[in-house]
């Protein structure tokens, strides 16, 4: 099911095809490897040169002294297939293909190239990253084959990333590094015609140095393999954070045009994330703050959050942000309140969130004592206090924060009201303090909510999908009432009839008032074609309404056929939609939400992958 990217990410020998001292990308990549003293042995390939970069240059793979683990393919798209076929004949194990024009877009030739490359990999066992990518970074192995020198000074860490967008990988990871996030691997996966997100995630789950996985997903190539990799990650306690494009039709079409990826239904992907314990982040900013929070390595044992500040305005704002996210901010226990009264002024209200006044502004150590007292409250599972990293020496020191971390075992965070640009000194301060300093209050709340979500799911098992036992005939208008009754759902009294005259008779049997609905195999949303009448109070009204509905359907949808009419008891109550469908990518999914004629406008819905148990149904 999985292909290993080890030859790619842990290569010891490397050919650079298209080696040149004039082309920008080969020059940058060679300089990266040289300046970082990478242990990889390099074989330049260029048939027009005998020597380059002070090294012997080879005309082709046949001339190399040994078969390389990896080849960087930095040549035009139309020459790549022949080059890789030559490499495979001479023992090449993996390739990194930078060029576009292979597998994406609408040009038929691009897709012919993509099919040929995919077939070569499948037949030969060659594994390839890309095409249409910008390279990778293996920090511990010192393989900096992304054409940017800014990764060269990276320090190894526990976070691995896979981005289908190479430019976004660069922008996000460099910003994340400035905030103190450290990486094991960074992969720009491109069109994923060979290695895909599932392969990389599976590799990172098995990698002992990787503790957290971040993804920027345009489309999932192999949903079942991705599910299996996510299942392994959840079982082994390695969180996955993801940003997924495709919330709009424009985003879905864009993804398909430049990577060839099918973005799929965003709501169903979100349901898959919920099932497999994947934290789905609404933005790149959110994924950065959430990754920083997860990098601390602590998971909460519950969802109770406490927020400390030195501003009443922050308290008011936090009420709003926490309320929007529906998070749990429990009141502090009497014992905690008593302990806090000794630490804050008599004019400060003991509450959660809490304004600590001068106790939080003037005395850093006392501020940490306040946070420590709150952390001991059995109702509280995470604590965040307002603070930002210092820009230069001479101000606060990290020791009080470090003492707080050492004196509690729950996750502890600092947060700021807004985003800011931390200095290098501030980043070192954060590391010495051992407390992630998050930015912007909404992102802070969502990051802590994500920790609570994953804390409930970590180490869990995914239930297998049972074989379906239902019958499609149960969904027909004639049988649906009996099918509902069989599982304990009481439907309105209903009679299906095939003519306007018999509709009036059916209504009299049910009892007035009634609802009349047109039944047509060509119409799913009856209200859109004027196919529903409410509150009919006599046989004549029902008969006339049925005839009128037939005329309206003929005008609204001339090619539609009429099977008959459904006459139902008129009932009142809360309207809901409950539905199940088979998603072509991710499998069977259930939706529950606000129903009625505004269902698609209001979009108050919850999606979950099947099977759904009583607890999940309650959450929905």
Q: Residue 421 to residues 183, 290, 311, 394, 433: CA-CA distances in angstroms? A: 20, 17, 22, 19, 18
- For the chain, what percent of residues have pLDDT higher than 90? 75
Strand residue runs (E) in 494-586: 494-497, 514-519, 532-536, 564-569, 576-583
d(CA 417, CA 431): 21
Strand residue runs (E) in 250-304: 279-280
What does the pLDDT read at residue 250?
Answer: 65
User: Which residues contact residue 544 at a Cβ distance below 8 angstroms, ignoring those fewer than 6 apart?
Assistant: none
What does the pLDDT read at residue 551?
Answer: 84
**Average pLDDT over every residue of 134-161:** 96
Backbone angles phi, psi at 463, to 5 degrees: -65, 140
> What is the helix, strand, coil percentage profile of the chain, to 5?
40, 20, 40
Q: Of 242-256, 493-507, 571-585, give the lowest mean pLDDT range.
A: 242-256
Round the average pLDDT of the chain to a whole number and report it: 92
Question: In terms of Cα–Cα distance, which of 49, 307, 291 is closest to 179?
Answer: 291
What does the pLDDT read at residue 362?
Answer: 65
pLDDT of 47 strictly over 50: yes
d(CA 570, CA 564): 19
Question: In terms of Cα–Cα distance, which of 534, 595, 543 is closest to 568?
Answer: 534
Confidence of residue 524 (pLDDT cuts 50, 70, 90): low
- For the chain, what percent of residues have pLDDT higher than 70? 94
Confidence of residue 479 (pLDDT cuts 50, 70, 90): confident
What does the pLDDT read at residue 287?
Answer: 98
d(CA 286, CA 296): 16
Q: Of 148-162, 254-268, 423-437, 591-605, give the lowest mean pLDDT range.
A: 254-268
d(CA 57, CA 611): 59
- Is there a contact between 95 and 73 (Cβ–Cβ < 8 Å)? yes
Interval 416-469: pLDDT, tens: 999 999 999 999 999 999 999 999 999 999 999 999 999 999 999 998 888 888
User: Which residues contact residue 440 at a Cβ distance below 8 angstroms, ignoring those fewer than 6 apart?
Assistant: 285, 289, 415, 416, 417, 418, 419
Strand residue runs (E) in 245-304: 279-280
Show the tokens assigned to 403. 């003492």
Confidence of residue 500 (pLDDT cuts 50, 70, 90): confident
Question: In terms of Cα–Cα distance, which of 384, 397, 398, 393 is closest to 354?
Answer: 384
User: Which residues contact residue 350 at a Cβ distance below 8 angstroms, ignoring those fewer than 6 apart?
Assistant: 332, 337, 340, 341, 344
d(CA 82, CA 352): 66
DSSP assigned state of 154: P
d(CA 444, CA 365): 23
Q: Sheet harboring 212-217: ordered strands across? A: 143-144, 136-138, 183-188, 156-163, 212-217, 240-244, 279-280
Q: Is the dihedral of CA 384, 385, 391, 392 positive or negative?
A: negative
pTM assigned to the model? 0.89
Confidence of residue 292 (pLDDT cuts 50, 70, 90): very high
What does the pLDDT read at residue 588?
Answer: 92
What does the pLDDT read at residue 563?
Answer: 83
**Average pLDDT over every residue of 15-31:** 96
**Average pLDDT over every residue of 604-617:** 91
**Average pLDDT over every residue of 19-31:** 96
pLDDT of 251 strictly over 80: no
d(CA 325, CA 305): 12
Question: In terms of Cα–Cα distance, which of 199, 154, 190, 142 is closest to 169?
Answer: 190
Confidence of residue 258 (pLDDT cuts 50, 70, 90): very low
C-alpha dihedral, 554 to 557 to 558 to 563, nearest 10°: -70
Our CA angle for 36, 39, 45, nearest 5°, is 95
pLDDT of 18 strictly over 90: yes
Interval 212-224: pLDDT, tens: 999 999 989 999 9
Q: Is the dihedral of CA 398, 404, 405, 407 positive or negative?
A: positive
What does the pLDDT read at residue 561?
Answer: 78
Q: Is the dihedral of CA 19, 25, 31, 37 positive or negative?
A: negative
What does the pLDDT read at residue 577?
Answer: 87
How remote is the C-alpha of 85 from its chain's centroid?
36
pLDDT of 9 strictly over 90: yes
What does the pLDDT read at residue 394?
Answer: 81
**Average pLDDT over every residue of 251-276:** 71
What does the pLDDT read at residue 428?
Answer: 96
d(CA 451, CA 454): 5
pLDDT of 372 strictly over 90: yes
If DSSP codes are grouped into helix, strand and coil, which group holds residue 159? strand
Show the tokens assigned to 351. 């509450």
Q: Residue 367 to residues 359, 389, 405: CA-CA distances in angstroms? A: 6, 15, 13
If DSSP codes are grouped into helix, strand and coil, which group holds residue 528? helix
Q: Residue 153 to residues 33, 39, 150, 508: CA-CA distances in angstroms? A: 11, 16, 7, 82
């Amino acid at each position: 099911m999985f292909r290993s990217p080890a030859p790619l990410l842990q290569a010891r020998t490397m050919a650079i095809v298209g080696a040149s001292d004039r082309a920008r990308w080969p020059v940058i990549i060679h300089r990266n490897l040289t300046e970082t003293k990478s242990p990889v042995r390099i074989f330049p390939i260029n048939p027009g040169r005998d020597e380059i970069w002070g090294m012997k240059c080879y005309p082709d793979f046949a001339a190399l002294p040994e078969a390389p683990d990896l080849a960087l393919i930095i040549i035009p798209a139309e020459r790549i297939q022949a080059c890789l076929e030559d490499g495979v004949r001479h023992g090449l194990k993996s390739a990194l293909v930078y060029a576009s024009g292979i597998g994406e877009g609408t040009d038929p030739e691009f897709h012919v190239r993509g099919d040929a490359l995919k077939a070569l990999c499948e037949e030969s066992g060659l594994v390839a990253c890309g095409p249409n990518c910008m390279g990778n970074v293996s920090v511990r192995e010192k393989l900096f084959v992304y054409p940017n020198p800014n990764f060269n000074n990276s320090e190894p860490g526990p976070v691995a990333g896979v981005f289908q967008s190479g430019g976004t990988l660069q922008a996000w990871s460099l910003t994340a590094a400035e905030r103190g996030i450290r990486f094991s691997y960074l992969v720009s996966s491109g069109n994923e015609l060979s290695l895909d997100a599932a392969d990389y995630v599976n590799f990172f789950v098995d990698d002992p140095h990787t503790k957290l996985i971040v993804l920027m997903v345009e489309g999932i190539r192999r949903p079942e393999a991705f599910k299996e990799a996510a299942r392994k990650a959840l079982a082994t306690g390695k969180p996955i954070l993801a940003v997924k494009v495709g919330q709009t039709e424009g985003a879905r079409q864009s993804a398909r045009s430049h990577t060839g990826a099918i973005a799929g239904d965003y709501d169903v992907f979100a349901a898959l994330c919920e099932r497999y314990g994947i934290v789905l982040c609404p933005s790149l900013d959110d994924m950065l703050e959430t990754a920083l929070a997860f990098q601390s390595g602590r998971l909460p044992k519950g969802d109770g959050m406490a927020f400390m500040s030195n501003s009443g305005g922050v308290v008011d704002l936090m009420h709003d942000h926490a309320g929007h996210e529906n998070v749990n901010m429990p009141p502090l226990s009497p014992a905690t309140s008593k302990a806090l009264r000794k630490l804050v002024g008599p004019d400060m209200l003991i509450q959660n969130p809490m304004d600590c006044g001068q106790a939080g502004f003037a005395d850093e150590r006392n501020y940490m004592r306040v946070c420590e007292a709150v952390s001991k409250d059995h109702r509280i599972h995470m604590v965040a206090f307002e603070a930002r990293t210092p820009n230069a020496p001479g101000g606060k020191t990290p020791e009080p924060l470090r003492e707080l971390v050492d004196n509690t075992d729950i996750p502890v965070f600092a947060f700021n009201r807004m985003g800011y640009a931390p200095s290098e000194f501030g980043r070192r301060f954060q590391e010495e303090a051992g407390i992630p300093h998050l930015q912007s209050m909404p992102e802070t709340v969502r990051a802590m909510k994500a920790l609570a979500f994953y804390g409930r799911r970590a180490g869990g098992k995914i239930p297998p999908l049972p074989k379906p036992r239902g019958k499609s005939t149960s969904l027909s208008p004639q049988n649906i009432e009996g099918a509902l009754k069989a599982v304990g759902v009481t439907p309105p009294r209903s009679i299906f009839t095939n003519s306007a005259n018999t509709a009036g008779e059916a209504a009299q049997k049910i009892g007035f008032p009634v609802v009349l609905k047109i039944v047509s195999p060509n119409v799913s949303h009856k209200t859109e074609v004027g196919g529903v009448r409410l509150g009919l109070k006599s046989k004549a009204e029902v008969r006339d309404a049925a005839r009128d509905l037939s005329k309206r359907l003929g005008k609204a949808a001339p090619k539609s056929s009429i099977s008959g009419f459904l006459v139902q008891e008129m009932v009142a109550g809360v309207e809901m939609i409950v539905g199940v469908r088979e998603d072509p990518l991710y499998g069977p999914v259930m939706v529950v939400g606000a129903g009625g004629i505004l269902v698609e406008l209001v979009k108050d819905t919850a999606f979950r992958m099947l099977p759904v148990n009583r607890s999940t149904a309650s959450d929905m």
